[in-house]
Amino acid sequence: MKRFSLLTSILVAFATVPLQAGEAVAYKQVAPPPPPELYGLGFYGAIDAGANVYQNRGGTKVFSNEFGDTLTIDPKNDVGFFGGIKAGYVFGTGVVRPTIEGDFFYNGFRGGADSTLTIDGVAVRNASATSFINTGAFMGNFILRFAFGRFQPYAGAGVGIYYAESAGVDISTPRGTFNTSGGESHADLAWQVLAGTDYYWNPKFSTFIEYHYLNYTSTQINTNESRDLGQHLIGAGLRFHF
């Protein structure tokens, strides 16, 4: 009788364990969220265009003789145009991304100066000379890009060469206007600093704005003072990654 009672107790205990544990819970594996999209990686090509807003051709100069007569030369700094193409490669996927870039562009602007000859305090002759200067620049840039998602500012510097050619000179005087045909050409070293920012519409395509301080040197011209031409360029463009 005692053995039956003990056996019954053990069976009842085993039967009540599943009831106390409740129903089995089914676990469903949740997929991890997709990684964030990375914008502006690897090789790219770009086109850009804008305005050469100022050329530092020097300030006004006044020459005089022992009689007090003066000749005043006032250089012109007219707005010009630039446009070109870029090709480069962005290294890494972090926030700071080193970049190398080839920058090839046309840069055209008007040169020349206004002159006034004064004798005995009276302006006796005024003249204005204007020349349109066509140049091509071929630059290699090193850039640091800062990737904040779609918004990517950057800054850098570059060196290279330029070729410039004058398309002749137009001279205006009170007696009329005449021009000289042909012009001179010159090639020399160039350097620039630049800064800008991209906005990426998708991982492969962006629009950007960019500023250059561009300097055309005159290492092959021997003068008593610097003849380097500093220029301020502001433009915008489209960038395509491959």
Instruction: Check which CATH number belongs to the domain holding 49 and give it.
Output: 2.40.160.20
Mean pLDDT for the stretch of residues 50-60: 80
Strand 151-173 with 96-119, pairing: unpaired
List the single range of 72-86, 93-107, 211-225 with lowest mean pLDDT.
211-225
Distance in angstroms (rounded) separating the CA atoms of residues 138 and 146: 25
Number of domains in the chain: 1
Report pLDDT digits (tens) over 176-225. Answer: 665 666 667 889 999 999 999 999 999 999 999 999 999 999 876 554 55
Regarding predicted confidence, which is higher, 32 or 125? 32
List the single range of 57-61, 64-68, 94-98 with lowest mean pLDDT.
57-61
Report pLDDT digits (tens) over 128-167. Answer: 767 788 999 999 999 999 999 999 999 999 999 999 988 7
Domain that residue 91 falls in:
37-59+78-113+131-241
The answer to whether position 151 is within a domain reads yes
Q: What percent of the chain has pLDDT over 90?
A: 49
The answer to whether position 121 is within a domain reads no
The answer to whether position 2 is within a domain reads no
The answer to whether position 26 is within a domain reads no
The answer to whether position 69 is within a domain reads no
**pLDDT the model gives residue 19:** 47
**pLDDT the model gives residue 161:** 97
Contact 225, 59 (CB under 8 A): no
The answer to whether position 68 is within a domain reads no
Distance in angstroms (rounded) separating the CA atoms of residues 178 and 171: 5
Reported confidence tier of residue 110, pLDDT bands at 50, 70, 90: confident
Contact 231, 54 (CB under 8 A): yes
**pLDDT the model gives residue 96:** 97
Distance in angstroms (rounded) separating the CA atoms of residues 190 and 163: 10
Strand 185-202 with 42-56, pairing: unpaired
Report which of 192, 194, 196, 135 is spatially closest to residue 159, judged by C-alpha positions. 192
Contact 108, 81 (CB under 8 A): yes
Dump strand ranges (E) for the chain: 42-56, 61-64, 70-75, 80-90, 96-119, 122-146, 151-173, 176-180, 185-202, 205-216, 229-241
The answer to whether position 99 is within a domain reads yes
Across the strands, what pairs with 210? Answer: 196, 235
